[in-house]
Structure 1
Amino acid sequence: MHNAAKSIEQRIEGLGEIKALENVSAIRFKQSKAFELHNPYPIIGEEGNRNFGDNVLFKKASFQIPIGANVALTGENGTGKQL
């Protein structure tokens, strides 16, 4: 175990310093017009129900997620985030 740790330390010491890039430009990919979305709300859910055991999480819930929105389902482990 000591030899493995010593080997790792030696490799770390041999690494050079890496400087951060000053100008980072966004990468843009050309996309075919066939994939262009014309609906401003491409993800829509209507009147969805979700139970977790005997607990009703939501009933007849509707939602719309617009293009470019960042959405996250958050909650404690085991609370039914996986639909």
Structure 2
Amino acid sequence: MNHLIPVHTPCVEGPGRAGSTLLPAPAATVVIVIVLLTSVLVVCGMPLESVITTITVGGLLAVELLHRTIEALAPRSRTL
């Protein structure tokens, strides 16, 4: 099954069981950054509810920013 995956795609192996899927490296990086950021904010004394709200709002804003940036930079089809 691994021979169907493009070589240029950076992946990290998931659990070592049969039929497991590969986790893309950027997704693993995002998860690690969110866990570290959450831990730092909790250790610094911020209430957990505020941490969850901050991470959620920041994530939603980041997704919207990415969508709009991609939309602005993507080539448009020019049909007349």
TM-score range, shorter chain: under 0.3
TM-score (norm 1): 0.20
For CA contacts below 8 A with separation 6 or more, give which structure has more relative contact order.
1
TM-score (norm 2): 0.21
More helix by share: 2
More strand by share: 1
Which of the pair has more CA radius of gyration? 1
